[in-house]
Amino acid sequence: MRIRDFLGLTTSAIIAHRLRSLLTALGIAVGIAAVILLTSIGEGIHRFVLQEFTQFGTTLVAINPGRATTAGTSMGVFGTERPLSIGDAEALSRLPFAKAVVPFVQGNAEVKADNRRRRTAVYGSGPQMPQAFSMSVRLGRFLPADDPVAPRAFAVLGSKLRAELFAEANPLGKRITIGGSRYRVIGVMEPKGTVLGFDLDDSVYIPAARALNLFNRGSLFEIDVLYRETAAVDTVVAGIERVLKARHGKHDFTVTTQQQMLDVLGSILDILTFAVAAIGGISLLVGAIGIVTIMSIAVNERIHEIGLLRALGASRGQILGLFLGEALVLAAIGGVGGLVMGIGIAWLLHLLLPALPVHTPMLYVLLAESLALCIGLLAGVAPARRAAMLDPIEALRTA
Amino acid sequence: MKPVIELRQVHRDFQVGDQVVHALDDVNLKIATGDYLSIMGPSGSGKSTLLNLIGLLDRASSGQYILDGRDVTSLSDGEQAVIRNRSIGFVFQAFHLVPRLTAAENVELPLMLAGMPLHERRSRVAKSLEALHLADRAQHKPDQLSGGQRQRVAIARATIMEPAVLLADEPTGNLDHRSGMDVVEILETLNARGITLIVVTHDAELGRRARRRLHMLDGRIHVEQGATV
Ligand SMILES: Nc1ncnc2c1ncn2[C@@H]1O[C@H](COP(=O)(O)OP(=O)(O)O)[C@@H](O)[C@H]1O
Ligand SMILES: [Mg+2]
């Protein structure tokens, strides 16, 4: 039998039951749309986060207080045995490979300037922060290299906070209060936007030692070390560990390299992908059951046709092929419909929520369509086999 | 003349529960090329079983079947299918047209299964429908045709591959007298042109028209009339 005739026969059967075929294909389409939509969002987020993470370069190492067994759980561990201190950061900055060492504390506080006030994020940091995180100063200067333990009360404003507090006026040299303490504004940062959900523009930067006092904390959240590109990451980690172990007397901190962060990120995204696969899988399973049902009904309805085709010289193989082909065409239609639906919704979502990153790789499109075909094949096998194994005499005689 | 069909000691048993039904019981039969044979007998006497066996839709439980000089007793499913396609035409009481296909497409089915190219098929189908006075019905679906027209489409389909043998099981059973006679005349015309025609019927008048008449009873050929090979 020729391919064209084969397709002609299968599609004629599908067209003869338009509505039913459409509904069956819809079952697959919903599953494929779910898979495409969710993977598009997942992939979009993946790319987005990856870009956010690597924008500071890859020669960054984070040190957090507390010893974690896995790299992932150390982020944001606050209840520590031995805190990370400003002194630790100082000691690390004397390491030969350290280009920049940035202590980091974060909290929220009310910032007042003359008659304006705003609750905002307060970042306690050090003078090398702009260098480590590729930030630049628009007006004035960043925090100076003061005595790290007793720095002067200087503050640098994020661009948005500056606009909120001072509008167009020049803020340099102005006095503000942050959580009740007085500071003098010495600089304004370039707009940076949000990084991993933190609005860096709606914020104020003050020396880390002062932030520790302000938030009444005994430990830094984190120390970030930017190291020279020529240094090997293992040497960097070993060096940091040696210094801190010597100071603390034990290994009660966690060093996370950029690569480890990416690995953690990867494993989180893997879980996400798995969840997506599970959701899509369930919808596809429902779609597959629809195909099995409809094909079983079709075999029963067309029992005479099967007997007749056999009498006219169709082999069991040809009957199997015809019904399998029908299931495949149904699944393929559903697959294409699902792709259009999924990509369409992803695109709409992108229009409505520009902040939500969406990306549909061509590979996923091809994989989804192949998946639909596989499902059609699997779902079609049992009914098609039944059709092929029918006794032609029985089939012709059945009332 | 050499027989086109030869059955030697053919048995066909069916197991029904713990009973064995002898649907065919030691059937010996030779049918010459171009013969016109009717098979009559009461319901359940084995007529359809014999026809299905000859048509290679079924297999003998024992015995031998030689078709066109070839032993076809124990062919594989695929080999049987090829012979059905090329050498045997079936006409059924219930017509068995595919409802979603037009008359022309129904007639085209055996050619499609044989893998014949489209352009060749079209002209053959057109000629065949023309010969059966169905040219103006080519694009009609079965439900737009009368019973007689449907059976004529079925005959066109059964003969489109120019088979050696045409098997008809109660071909007039679902037709009024006039359309039935039309169909019989068409079948007889085809026989006159050389096709071997075997008709199962319990209509005595119809059965008498055949040159050779078999009467079956309990799976056996009970009486045989007319010329033998
Ligand atoms: N598939 C089958 N299973 C069991 N018994 C069958 C089957 N086919 C036919 N028979 C039996 O074989 C006998 C002959 O049947 P059949 O050839 O259809 O008779 P006829 O066509 O002469 O009416 C009947 O007794 C029938 O019940
Ligand atoms: Mg019968």
CA distance to partner chain A, nearest, from residue B12 (Å) = 14
Domain boundary among A217, A251, A285: A251
CB B31, CB B4: distance < 8 Å: yes
Q: Is the ipTM of this complex over 0.85?
A: yes
A277 Cα to the center of ligand 1, angstroms: 54
**Distance between CA atoms of B91 and B155, rounded to whole angstroms?**
6
Residues of A in contact with B94 (CB under 8 A): 304, 396
- By the CB criterion, residues less than 5 angstroms from ion ligand 2 are B 48
The predicted pLDDT at position A72 comes to: 47
Single-letter residue type at B145 = L
Mapped onto helix, strand or coil, the DSSP state of residue A233 is helix
pLDDT at A267: 83
Within-domain flag for A68 = no
CA distance A359 to A356: 10
Taking the model in full, what pTM does it have? Answer: 0.73
CB A111 within 8 A of CB A117: yes
Q: What separation in Å is there between the alpha carbon of A60 and the centre of ligand 2?
A: 88
- For A200, what's the count of Cα atoms within 13 Å in the CB-facing half-sphere? 18
Asked if the structure places residue A335 within a domain, the reply is yes
Do A26 and A112 belong together in one domain? no
B79, closest residue in chain A (CA to CA): A315
Closest Cα in chain B, distance from residue A274 (Å): 44
The reply to whether A165 and A215 lie within a common domain is yes
Evaluate if residue B99 carries a pLDDT over 50: yes
Provide the number of structural domains found in chain A: 2
**DSSP-H helix ranges across A249-361:** 258-301, 303-311, 316-352
Same domain, A207 and A314: no
Mutate to test the interface with B, among A7, A308, A385, A389 (most CBs of B within 10 A): A308
What is the number of domains present in chain B? 1
Nearest CA distance, B133 vs chain A (angstrom): 22
Residue A149 within any structural domain of the chain = yes
**Do A43 and A90 share a domain, yes or no?**
no
A71 inside domain: no
User: Would you state the structure tokens that stand for residue A358, as one six-digit string?
Assistant: 């969406």
> Residue B103 forms beta bridges with which residues?
none
Residue A289 has pLDDT above 50, yes or no: yes
Single-letter amino acid code for the residue at A194: T
Which residue bears the tokens 């005499």?
A393
Tell me: do A93 and A235 sit in the same domain: yes
Residues of B in contact with A4 (CB under 8 A): 118
- Among A221, A251, A281, where does a domain finish? A251
Q: Rounded to whole angstroms, how far apart are CA atoms A291 and A24? A: 6
Question: Which domain range does residue A34 map to?
Answer: 3-52+264-397
Residue range A391-396: mean pLDDT, rounded: 94
Which range marks the domain in which residue B63 is found? Answer: 3-226
| Cα B53 from Cα B60, distance rounded (Å) | 7
Judge contact between B57 and B84, C-beta under 8 A: yes
Whether A304 sits inside 8 A of B117 (CB atoms) is no
Atom of ligand 1 minimally distant from the CA of A394:
1
Specify the 3-state DSSP secondary structure of A177.
Answer: strand
Instruction: Closest CB to A396: pick one of B96, B110, B115.
Output: B96
Q: Which of A1, A20, A306, A312 to substitute to test the interface with B, most B CBs within 10 Å?
A: A312
What's the sign of the alpha-carbon dihedral A43, A44, A46, A47?
positive
- Asked if the structure places residue A37 within a domain, the reply is yes
In this structure, the answer to whether residues A112 and A230 fall within a common structural domain is yes
Last residue of a domain, one of A193, A227, A251: A251
pLDDT score for A175: 93
CB-CB contact of A304 with A397 (8 Å): no
pLDDT in tens, A18-55: 999 999 999 999 989 988 888 888 888 877 777 777 77
Token pair recorded at residue A10: 């299968």
What's chain A's Rg over C-alpha atoms? 32
Looking at the domain assignment, is residue A244 inside a domain?
yes
Q: Does the Cβ of B21 fall within 6 Å of ligand 1?
A: yes
Give the residue, B1 or B64, on which the prediction is more confident.
Answer: B64
A7 and A97 co-located in one domain: no
Same domain assignment for residues A97 and A239: yes
Q: A228 and A271: one domain?
A: no
Chain A positions in Cβ-Cβ contact with residue B96 (cut-off 8 Å):
304-305, 307-308, 311, 396
Q: What is the DSSP string of chain B?
A: --EEEEEEEEEEEEEETTEEEEEEEEEEEEEETT-EEEEE-STTSSHHHHHHHHTTSS--SEEEEEETTEE-TT--HHHHHHHHHHHEEEEETT----TTS-HHHHHHHHHHHHT--HHHHHHHHHHHHHHTT-GGGTT--GGGS-HHHHHHHHHHHHHTT--SEEEEESTTTTS-HHHHHHHHHHHHHHHHTT-EEEEE-S-HHHHHTSSEEEEEETTEEEEEES---
Residue A154 burial class via C-beta count within 10 angstroms: exposed 0-12, middle 13-18, buried 19 and up: buried
Question: Could you tell me the distance, in angstroms and rounded to a whole number, from the CA of residue B93 to the centre of ligand 2?
Answer: 9
pLDDT at A276 over 70: yes
Give the sheet arrangement for strand B3-16, strand by strand.
B19-32, B3-16, B62-67, B70-71
Q: Are residues A43 and A103 in the same domain?
A: no
Residue A274: inside a domain = yes
A40-69 exposure pattern, b = at least 16 Cβ within 10 A, e = fewer? bbbbbbbebbeeebeebeebbbbbbbbeee
List pLDDT tens digits, range A218-273. Answer: 899 999 999 998 888 889 999 999 999 999 888 888 898 887 877 877 788 778 77
Query: Does A74 map to a domain?
Result: no
For residue B131, the CA-to-ligand 2 centroid distance in Å is 29
CATH classification of the domain holding B58: 3.40.50.300
